[in-house]
């Protein structure tokens, strides 16, 4: 079983055009993501998947692996799936989908995600969660929350504060979803063919298509948070 990390990256961004190439202390954002992923001891190969010549040039300059994908990809998942087909991964290979706007992710959290597939042969899809206590983070709709069952299978993802603490019970655990995914390549290809989901469109969360379609997502709780850069203010911070 080979483990391949693919970082989907596009130049255009509604809130932050060109953010993949934004400078962070002398390195582009996409370079920092690539180098952090390379530090994972359980990932065999890392690629950037893009439709941008500028991003391709940036990765070529650091002798990284880059795959050009179609401009018609409607999501990062579609881009990752196309890249996986291009490099002809086997159906049982594991594909890690890492957003190109998480330049400070810790390689240990990637190891946590891969380890879940080692411990559960036949797992189709997995993702990460991080325990949060700050009210600002819990109430921020940009921080997606996740609840899961006793087997760590996701029940629901939401931008809302879930679970809702009706009686103000103490010590409620809240988990922030970290938008890094792992799939068997066979399920990744299936994912892109699943019909659009009502919940997906309501919450604007692609992973709800999987749950609404009757499939399972394994949630691994990690000790390592990963902050994304959504706009120039995040970059400055």
C-alpha atoms less than 13 angstroms from C-alpha of 86 in its C-beta half-sphere = 18
| Mean pLDDT, residues 213-219 | 97
Under the banding of pLDDT at 50, 70 and 90, the label for residue 14 is low
Query: 147-200 pLDDT, tens per residue?
Result: 999 999 999 999 999 999 999 888 899 999 999 999 999 999 999 999 989 999
| Mean pLDDT, residues 29-57 | 95
At 212 the pLDDT is 96
Query: How many residues are recorded in the chain?
Result: 237
How many whole angstroms separate alpha carbon 160 and alpha carbon 191?
25
Report yes or no: 235 and 19 within 8 Å, Cβ to Cβ. Answer: yes
Least confident of 14-18, 44-48, 71-75, 198-202: 14-18
* Strands (E) located in the chain: 3-9, 23-24, 27-28, 45-50, 66-68, 94-98, 125-132, 145-148, 154-158, 174-184, 218-221
**Number of structural domains in the chain:** 1
CATH number at residue 79: 3.90.550.10
Q: With a cut of 70, say whether residue 203 has pLDDT above it.
A: yes
H/E run at residue 135: helix 135-139
The SS3 of residue 153 is strand
| Mean pLDDT, residues 87-109 | 94
Query: 117-157 pLDDT, tens per residue?
Result: 989 888 999 999 999 989 999 999 989 999 999 999 999 99
Under the banding of pLDDT at 50, 70 and 90, the label for residue 93 is very high
How many whole angstroms separate alpha carbon 101 and alpha carbon 98?
9
At 16 the pLDDT is 73
Q: What is the mean pLDDT of the chain?
A: 93
User: Where in the sequence is the domain holding 225, given as residue range(s)?
Assistant: 3-236
Q: With a cut of 90, say whether residue 207 has pLDDT above it.
A: yes
């Amino acid at each position: 079983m080979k483990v391949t990390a693919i970082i989907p990256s596009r130049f255009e961004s509604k809130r932050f055009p060109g953010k993949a190439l934004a400078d962070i202390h002398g390195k582009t954002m996409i370079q920092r993501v690539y180098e952090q992923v390379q530090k994972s001891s359980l990932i065999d190969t890392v690629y950037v998947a893009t439709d941008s010549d500028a991003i391709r040039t940036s990765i070529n300059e650091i002798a990284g692996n880059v795959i050009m994908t179609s401009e018609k990809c409607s999501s990062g998942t579609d881009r990752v799936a196309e890249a996986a087909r291009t490099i002809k991964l086997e159906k049982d290979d594991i594909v890690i989908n890492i957003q190109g706007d998480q330049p400070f992710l810790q390689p240990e959290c990637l190891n946590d995600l891969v380890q879940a597939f080692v411990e559960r042969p036949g797992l189709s899809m997995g993702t990460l969660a991080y325990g949060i206590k700050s009210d600002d983070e819990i109430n921020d709709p940009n921080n997606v929350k996740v609840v899961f069952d006793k087997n760590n299978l996701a029940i629901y993802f939401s931008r809302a504060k879930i679970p809702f603490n009706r009686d103000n019970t103490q010590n409620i655990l809240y988990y922030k979803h970290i938008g890094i995914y792992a799939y068997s390549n066979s399920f990744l290809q299936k994912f892109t063919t699943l019909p659009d989901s009502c919940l997906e469109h309501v919450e604007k969360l692609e992973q709800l298509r999987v749950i609404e379609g009757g499939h399972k997502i394994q949630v691994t709780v990690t000790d390592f948070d990963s902050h994304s850069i959504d706009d120039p203010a995040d970059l400055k911070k």
